């Protein structure tokens, strides 16, 4: 009996070891799946910040082709994540990016609920860390865009979006409560309706190695909620271009301009600098104003089908409408990152980036670490 038990134990251990080796071999395999089948990737969400405590949750992405037979059909991607923290904060996000057959229609959707502490530093391109004021934001957002290709690579679209915000000041007497010029401090609601125009020649919507993408959108918010709630317009411009420098090396560049125009702009709608996609290394919202202008370049080296690395750098600024020196006072950023392609054929990846920003007098150099799905741009 002991010999039988020992034989079974050895057999199970050998199978477990073989399965682990098979799993390791698969996740680092240099082969592409050419069947164009759907893929699903879960990833844990875990982090820590003084404001939120320990944060944990789960995220995932589901990707598929509407038309597997058409090799030019772009992949449709759906992303979801939910997290909760030890300070009772939560963040739930659902995003969709869908392409129909022949890429004739393009649909973009987002639903987000957030209850999250964050640091507020004031308005402008030169805020100080000493003015840090801790707030709690409750936000609900629904956004939907639909675009149609009337001419090859040229998409005309419409959009509809709703956002609702509420704020609680955790440090009464700070810059948020005593600062002048901040509108709608308690929060409010806004409904946007808009149009967009884009031109897209990229060879992939996930990991392009060549091609151009440009999009301009205009959104208007009518005064339907009354009071101090925002009414006005915003314009967003996003341009990108990609070149293949070598079989495994790609150069990508991006330029971005966002502006919001109104006589009663709510502070929380002002364009912000810093996130996991543009100006990595800056705390999101450290700098905010009526206009945001930035550019970045990224060299991507995909040395295996499953693994890659990047180096990036850029510059950006926020400024008021009265700003006259538009080409001055840009803030730099630079950094490195790693990529794991969980679906090499579609170019879908999990990325880890570390970005570094400016060092202001009497402050530590600004920096940030990011774990995200898909490329930054």
Residues 188 and 250 in one domain: yes
**What tokens appear for 77 in the block?**
């991607």
Residues 247 and 313 in one domain: yes
CA distances from 357 to 128, 212, 263, 275, 279 (A): 14, 28, 32, 12, 8
Residues 93 and 187 in one domain: yes
- The parent domain of residue 1 ranges over 1-30
Higher pLDDT, 359 or 5: 359
Which range, 160-174, 177-191, 200-214, 223-237, has the best average confidence (pLDDT)? Answer: 200-214
pLDDT in tens, 297-342: 999 999 999 999 999 999 999 999 999 888 899 999 999 999 999 9
Residues 52 and 184 in one domain: yes
Residues 153 and 181 in one domain: yes
Residues 42 and 181 in one domain: yes
Residues 176 and 238 in one domain: yes
CA distances from 269 to 48, 128, 147, 236, 259 (A): 26, 20, 24, 13, 10
Residues 331 and 349 in one domain: yes
Structural domain total, the chain: 2
Give the CATH number, domain containing residue 297.
2.40.160.50
Residues 60 and 16 in one domain: no
pLDDT score for 23:
42
pLDDT in tens, 322-332: 998 888 999 99
Say if residues 357 and 282 touch (Cβ distance below 8 Å).
yes
Residues 43 and 26 in one domain: no
Residues 97 and 193 in one domain: yes
pLDDT in tens, 46-72: 655 545 667 789 988 899 999 999 999
Residue with tokens 């570390």: 354
pTM confidence score: 0.86
């Amino acid at each position: 009996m002991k010999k039988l038990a020992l034989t079974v134990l050895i057999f199970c251990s050998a199978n477990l070891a073989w399965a682990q080796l098979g799993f390791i071999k698969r996740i680092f395999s240099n082969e592409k799946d050419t069947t164009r089948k759907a893929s699903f990737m879960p990833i844990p969400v875990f982090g820590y910040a003084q404001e939120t405590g320990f944060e944990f949750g789960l995220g995932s992405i589901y990707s598929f082709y509407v038309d597997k037979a058409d090799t030019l059909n772009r992949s449709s991607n759906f992303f979801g994540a939910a997290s909760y923290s030890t300070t009772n904060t939560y963040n739930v996000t659902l995003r969709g990016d869908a392409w129909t057959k022949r890429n004739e229609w393009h649909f973009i959707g987002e639903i987000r609920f957030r209850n999250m502490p964050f640091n507020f530093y004031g308005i402008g391109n030169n805020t100080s860390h000493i003015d840090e004021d801790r707030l709690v934001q409750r936000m609900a957002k629904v956004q939907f865009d639909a675009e149609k290709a009337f001419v090859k690579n040229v998409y005309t679209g419409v959009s509809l979006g709703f956002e609702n915000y509420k704020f609680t000041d955790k440090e009464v007497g700070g810059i948020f409560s005593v600062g002048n010029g901040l509108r709608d401090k308690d929060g409010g609601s806004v409904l946007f309706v808009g149009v967009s125009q884009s031109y897209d020649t990229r060879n992939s919507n996930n990991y392009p190695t060549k091609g151009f993408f440009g999009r301009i959108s205009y959104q208007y918010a009518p005064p339907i909620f009354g009071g101090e709630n925002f009414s006005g317009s915003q314009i967003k411009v996003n341009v990108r271009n990609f070149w293949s420098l070598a079989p495994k090396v790609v150069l990508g560049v991006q330029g971005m301009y966002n502006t919001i125009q109104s006589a009663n702009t709510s502070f929380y709608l002002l364009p912000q600098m810093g996130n996991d996609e543009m100006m990595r290394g800056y705390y999101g919202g450290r700098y905010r104003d009526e206009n945001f202008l930035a550019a970045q370049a990224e060299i991507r080296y995909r040395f295996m089908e499953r693994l890659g690395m990047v180096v990036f750098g850029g510059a950006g600024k926020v400024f008021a409408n009265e700003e006259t020196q538009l080409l001055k006072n840009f803030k730099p950023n630079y950094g490195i990152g790693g990529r794991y392609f969980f679906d090499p054929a579609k170019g879908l990846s999990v990325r880890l980036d570390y970005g570094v920003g400016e060092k202001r007098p009497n402050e530590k150099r600004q920096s940030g670490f990011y774990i995200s799905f898909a490329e930054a741009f």
